[in-house]
Amino acid sequence: MSVQNEVEFSPELMAYISEWKEKQGNLIMILHKVQEEFGYIPREAADKVSELLDVPLAKIWGVVTFYHFFKLTKPGEHNIQVCLGTACYLKGGDAIIEALHKHLGLDVGAVTDDGKFSLEAVRCIGCCGLAPVMTVSGEVFGKVTKDQVPGIIDKFN
């Protein structure tokens, strides 16, 4: 199978792929690493993984679209995660999403036009005591009220 569009993989990623190439469960492990490098799974990268592992692109797409973890679109410069796990949901996680929509015009799974922010809904990030929780670029904000949302976002703007 020929690669349609060229894409550069870092030496670390290439080393990881050689290490995992023959092992069972290689595809998911390698896709994890690809997402770590690019922030998502670009089509070109999927083509390259297909070539390197001799796995049809269709199979890769099946895996990538089956697991929520994998993303097919490039996340914003700052990725926002809003927890909708049981505790956060009950404490008003959806109000945070609503506030983000109001403030940034952002829907779940979307990226702002300027590429600055993206929004995803997640299930539990392991600090239920702080519910409701959101993270921006990995920084955790607890007991968030909808009025605090614009202030939090402005810190990153």
Partner 1 sequence: MVHVKINGIPVEVEEGSTVLYAAKKANVTIPTLCYHPDLKPWASCGLCVVKQEGSAKIVRACATPVGEGQSFITNDEELFKVRKTILELMLSTHPSTCLTCGRNGMCELQRLAAEFGIREQPYEVRVKKLSRDTSTCSIVLDPTKCIKCGRCVQVCQDMQGVFALEFIGRGDNTVMAPAAMLKLDDSPCIKCGQCAAHCPVGAIFERDETESFRKAVADPDKHVVVQIAPAVRVALGESFNLPAGTITTGKIYAALRRLGADKVFDTNFSADLTIMEEGTELVERLSKKDSVLPQITSCCPAWTDYMEKYYPDMIPNFSTAKSPMMMQGAMTKTYYAETAGIDPAKIYSVAIMPCTAKKFEISRDDNMQASGFNDVDLVLTTRELARLIKSAGVDFVDLPGEPADSPIGEYAGAGTIFGNTGGVMEAALRTAYHSITGKDLKNVEIDAVRGMDGIRKGIVDVDGRKVRVAVAHGMANVKSLMEEIRAARDAGAEPPYEFIEVMACRGGCISGGGQPYASTDDVRSKRIAGLYEDDRESEFRCSYQNPSIQKIYAEYLGAPLSEKAHHLLHTSYQERKVYKH
Q: How far is the CB of 107 from partner 1 (least distance, A)?
A: 17
Closest to 135 measured CA to CA, from 155, 112, 115, 105: 155
Q: On the CB side of 133, how many CA atoms lie within 13 Å of its CA?
A: 18
Closest CB to partner 1 among residues 4, 157: 4
Q: How far is the CB of 3 from partner 1 (least distance, A)?
A: 10
By the 8 A CB rule, do 82 and 122 touch?
yes
Residue 142 burial (C-beta neighbours within 10 Å; 0-12, 13-18, 19+): middle
Closest CB to partner 1 among residues 28, 87: 28
Closest to 84 measured CA to CA, from 33, 135, 41, 44: 135
Closest CB to partner 1 among residues 69, 126: 69
Q: How far is the CB of 58 from partner 1 (least distance, A)?
A: 4
Q: How far is the CB of 43 from partner 1 (least distance, A)?
A: 6
How far, CA to CA in Å, does 69 sit from each of 4, 47, 72, 109? 25, 19, 10, 12
Closest CB to partner 1 among residues 69, 98: 69
Sheet strands (E) in the chain: 78-83, 117-122, 134-136, 139-141
Query: Which residues form the interface with partner 1 (CB under 8 A)?
Result: 1-2, 4, 43, 46-47, 56-62, 65-66
Closest CB to partner 1 among residues 121, 130: 121
